Amino acid sequence: MLSKSQARLFFIGGTCFFSAIFLGLTFHTLGQVDARQNLDLLTAEVARGKEIWDSNNCMGCHTILGEGAYYAPELTQVVKRRGKEWISIFLRDPQAMFPGKRRMVQYDFSDEQIGDVIAFLDWIGKIDTNGFPPEPDLAMAPSLVVQASAQTSAPPAYFQQVCIACHSVGGTGGSVGPALDGVGSRLTAPELDRWLADPPAVKPGTAMPNLNLPDATRAELVNWLSGLR
């Protein structure tokens, strides 16, 4: 049992000790700010993207840097995880990318606004967050990257950034659309080209949206898919 003087001394000593720790951590944190923030990459596009993020209350569903509602996906590293092209397509029509599964509001952003939002998310992703968010356990969640096999060439970048979200090859990828293993044996190159040019025209009611692919991108995809036999 402590006496009154001992208790007072214990209280004062503990208060001083932990106050010193708090102040030390505060000064250490402030000393790291300049090194960890990427102000040199802060552009007008990033600032406009932040304004769009705030004005549409995106944090009401999403989180960035650990702050937000945790209702929708965490977006700190979304550009690294999904790629700018996929995010651009998704923001144009969220429901089309995941029919019946996504509840994100259709904001009808202009191309410039989409570019600004992506610039903001890209800037966020380049902040040094000491490893946050952590990388997924690869034993539990394999990387969604299709590797070239002895029979096929490397997948086009567009496939890796966009198509892989819905389709799979070799067991890797999404499950919204059918697996594409052996698709080159089932469909001819002209059939693949017609499908990629306008999926709803080939199969009315299909879940696959018309991505309005440039001719060069479509030709690259057709050439690669034709080799999946």
Residue-wise pLDDT for 95-122, tens only, equals 877 766 667 888 999 999 999 999 999 9
Distance CA 207, CA 174 (A): 14
Q: Which two tokens stand for residue 109?
A: 């952003």
- CA distances, 11 to each of 3, 16, 24, 25, 218 (Å): 12, 9, 20, 21, 72
The pLDDT, as a whole number, for residue 56 is 94
The pLDDT, as a whole number, for residue 41 is 84
The pLDDT, as a whole number, for residue 148 is 53
Across the chain, mean pLDDT equals 85
The pLDDT, as a whole number, for residue 145 is 58
Alpha-carbon 74 to chain mean position: 8
Alpha helices in 93-207 (DSSP H): 94-97, 111-125, 157-161, 183-186, 189-197, 199-202
19-38 average pLDDT score? 84
Confidence of residue 4 (pLDDT cuts 50, 70, 90): confident
Contact between 169 and 182 (Cβ < 8 Å):
no
Greater confidence (1 vs 140) lies with 1
41-51 average pLDDT score? 94
Q: Please, is 171 exposed, middle or buried when counting C-beta atoms within 10 Å of its C-beta (0-12, 13-18, 19+)?
A: exposed
Strands (E) in the chain, as ranges, are 63-64, 67-68, 168-169, 172-173
Per-residue pLDDT tens over the stretch 157-195: 889 888 888 888 888 888 878 899 999 999 999 999 999
Q: pTM value? A: 0.68
Per-residue pLDDT tens over the stretch 137-159: 544 344 455 655 545 678 898 89
CATH number of the 39-125 domain: 1.10.760.10
Domain boundaries, given as residue ranges, for the chain: 39-125, 157-226
The pLDDT, as a whole number, for residue 196 is 93
Q: Please, is 144 exposed, middle or buried when counting C-beta atoms within 10 Å of its C-beta (0-12, 13-18, 19+)?
A: middle
Contact between 75 and 90 (Cβ < 8 Å):
no
The pLDDT, as a whole number, for residue 136 is 58
CATH class of 157-226: mainly alpha
**CA-derived radius of gyration, the chain:** 25
